[in-house]
Amino acid sequence: MKEADNNPKTQKRSVVFPIETLEQIDKLAIKKNVYASEVIREFVDKGLAVNGYEENIDIITDIIHQEIEASIKSLANRLAGMINRLTIISAAAYYANITIISDLIDKDRYSSFEKIEKAARKRALD
């Protein structure tokens, strides 16, 4: 205990606790085989660590928000690219089907590609 008094980085403080609290501190000190002052210092250090965390929670929240936003943006760009490719493939299949159908249908009834497409769109919407 004399060490702490002579250490220039420490300072002595008097603190008043309720008797029940002191009894709990003494029991814990006996259980841990340390001085009550060490138990008190440990609790103060832990309390200050929690307080420091609470003060930094806004910074931590902002960092997490930025990371999530970047991930979502990356995934959104990837999805947009996939949708673009699917649209191209779908359009190609659509026109390939119309071309095949134009070879199989009655040429007198449907004389042009546009008429075939218009009929196909009408049926699709129906």
User: For residue range 17-75, what is the model confidence (pLDDT) as tens digits?
Assistant: 999 999 999 999 999 999 999 999 999 988 888 777 766 777 888 889 999 999 999 99
Interatomic CA distance for residues 29 and 39, integer angstroms: 6
Q: Alpha carbon of 94 to those of 61, 97, 114: distances in Å?
A: 48, 5, 13
Interatomic CA distance for residues 95 and 85, integer angstroms: 16
Interatomic CA distance for residues 26 and 40, integer angstroms: 10
Mean pLDDT is lowest, of 5-19, 59-73, 112-126, for 112-126
